[in-house]
Chains A and B, each alone.
Chain A
Amino acid sequence: DAMVIQNPRYQVTQFGKPVTLSCSQTLNHNVMYWYQQKSSQAPKLLFHYYDKDFNNEADTPDNFQSRRPNTSFCFLDIRSPGLGDAAMYLCATSSGKGGAYEQYFGPGTRLTVT
């Protein structure tokens, strides 16, 4: 089945220790998104790619970086995680950026910072 896969599902890291979250998709979608979601809050868009065109949201902290080496893979790097970065990180894809294109989400990676 075509899908969005995120690894790992659960990640524990120490304060200040860099961590990388990965996302892969078999849907061959052009657009990939990274969201941060904290408990009972709306998903917050961090980045999105339209093909190789990278878009960084204005309020995404510099501590967060992203890479998309090819259509199928996308990575989220957190250079120096703080306690406030503990959250669910969701990867999503869509086949286009227009209004009718729904986003398909991966299962998420729950990040704990100790």
Chain B
Amino acid sequence: GQNIDQPTEMTATEGAIVQINCTYQTSGFNGLFWYQQHAGEAPTFLSYNVLDGLEEKGRFSSFLSRSKGYSYLLLKELQMKDSASYLCAVMDSNYQLIWGAGTKLIIKP
């Protein structure tokens, strides 16, 4: 079966750095997405990785290792507004998005 695993919840301090991990087992791979979802709102796109390595976009970076079936989202200089759920999603060989349940990130002052 297809599976995306990510921690259910993480807590971090304002101004710090946090890494949210995602491991996946899917039938084929056509890229990995990270989305941010604030409570009661729709997901918004953060990043897309299809090749191994690190993609940096401002305070957010995303890393991919296809051989390990592993990705992480790195958030730097955390702000209170970063409190949200972060969803990892993998596009399989049929171009279907397989979603993780999300990691709820709690930022404390």
Please report A residues at the B interface, Cβ cutoff 8 Å. Answer: 40-45, 88, 90, 97-100, 102-108, 110
Contact = CB atoms under 8 A, between A and B. Distances in A.
Given A42-B100, A99-B95, A100-B50, A108 B30 contact: no
B interface: dominant SS:
loop
Interface of B: 4, 8, 30-31, 33, 40-45, 48, 50, 85, 87, 91, 95-97, 99-102, 104
A17 to B, nearest CB: 24
B60 to A, nearest CB: 15
16 contacts: A40-B8, A40-B104, A41-B101, A43-B43, A43-B99, A44-B99, A88-B40, A99-B30, A99-B91, A100-B31, A100-B48, A103-B45, A105-B42, A105-B44, A108-B41, A108-B42
Contact of A99 (B31, B41, B85): B31
A interface: dominant SS:
loop
B101 A40 contact: yes
Contacts of B45: 102-104
Contacts of B104: 40
A42 B103 CA distance: 10
A98 B97 contact: no
A88 B40 CA distance: 8
Contacts of A105: 42-44
- Of the candidates A40, A99, A102, A110, the one having the most CB atoms from chain B within 10 angstroms of its own CB is A99
B41 A102 contact: no
Contacts of B96: 45
B19 to A, nearest CB: 20
Contact of B42 (A42, A45, A107): A107
A104 B44 CA distance: 7
Given A105-B43, A105-B44, A45 B97 contact: yes
B53 to A, nearest CB: 16
Contacts of B99: 42-44
